[in-house]
Amino acid sequence: MSELSSDAVLEAVADALARAERPLFITGAGISADSGLPTYRGIGGLYNGRSTEEGFPIEEALSGHMLARRPEITWRYISQIESNCRGAGPCAAHRLIAALEAEKPGLWVLTQNIDSLHRKAGSRNLIEIHGTVHRLLCTACEYRRDVADYAGLALPPSCPRCGRPLRPDVVLFGEMLPQAALARLAQVMDDGPDLVFSIGTTSVFPYIAHPMWWARQNGVAAVEINPGETSVSEIASHRLKMGAATAMTALCSRLHLQAGD
Active-site residues, by number, are 130
Give the Cβ contact number of residue 209 at 10 Å: 19
Amino acid at 250: A
Picking from 49, 67, 11, the residue whose alpha carbon sits closest to that of residue 254 is 11
CA distance 37 to 77: 16
Hey, is 176 helix, strand or coil?
A: coil
Hey, is 185 helix, strand or coil?
A: helix
Hey, is 255 helix, strand or coil?
A: coil
3-state secondary structure 89-119: CCCHHHHHHHHHHHHCCCCEEEECCCCCHHH
Q: What pairing do the DSSP bridges indicate for beta strands 144-146 and 131-138? A: antiparallel
Beta bridge partners of 24: 108, 196
